[in-house]
Chains A and B, each alone.
Chain A
Amino acid sequence: DTGVSQDPRHKITKRGQNVTFRCDPISEHNRLYWYRQTLGQGPEFLTYFQNEAQLEKSRLLSDRFSAERPKGSFSTLEIQRTEQGDSAMYLCASSLFGIGQAHRDTGELFFGEGSRLTVL
């Protein structure tokens, strides 16, 4: 399978624990995105990497959240001291072309199936 893969697919944790999600993008894609989706809502942007550089972060990404992409390949999203409000689906996506690039494929994000977090 050459799509975006996310691990784990489902994580149940107790409030106050730390959790880490991993995303493996499509290999030739240099752009990687994290979104959060809660029930009944559309995905909300969290952060974005171009190669290993984190170029944009949402205000939703509080100081309990940290994302890394150390070698410009896979990425991790860590949530420290989880709260019940962190329960959501965390979506990872990758792309080859950014939004503003003059290419027919601009803006096409390839999403993984998501990592569902349940905080008890």
Chain B
Amino acid sequence: AQTVTQSQPEMSVQEAETVTLSCTYDTSESNYYLFWYKQPPSRQMILVIRQEAYKQQNATENRFSVNFQKAAKSFSLKISDSQLGDTAMYFCAYALSYNTDKLIFGTGTRLQVFP
């Protein structure tokens, strides 16, 4: 069965600094997607970034980038120039690329950005 593990329950970073959130996953499949979702306090979850497993190039979205290591089954999120608005729960998620529309989420990392 596919599983997603986020080993950092909480992280903190000073404004304008860089922080990296870790995620590992377990799968025997070769075609899948990986995602990072953000859940701000008392607000709805939104997609931050996605990565297709067949693409070797790491995805980037403005200040957000990933380090995708397929062989190691690792998918970390780097947030550069952290802003107070980045304070949120961050969830790593996995999905097969066929026969399902189900996302499997990790337990999340609570990120606090302080001034």
Contact = CB atoms under 8 A, between A and B. Distances in A.
Contact of B44 (A40, A50, A99, A113): A113
Contacts of B106: 42
Contacts, number: 72
Contact of A107 (B42, B44, B50): B50
A45 B103 contact: yes
B101 A55 contact: yes
Interface stretch (B13-21, B71-79, B89-97): B89-97
B105 A99 contact: no
A48 interface: yes
Interface residues of B, number: 26
A27 interface: no
B50 A108 contact: yes
Nearest to B47: A108
A117 interface: no
Given A44-B105, A99-B96, A99-B100, A111 B50 contact: no
Interface of A: 3-4, 31, 33, 40-45, 48, 50, 55-56, 58, 91, 93, 95, 98-100, 106-114
CB-based closest 7 A-B pairs = A42-B105, A111-B45, A111-B44, A45-B102, A99-B95, A108-B47, A100-B98
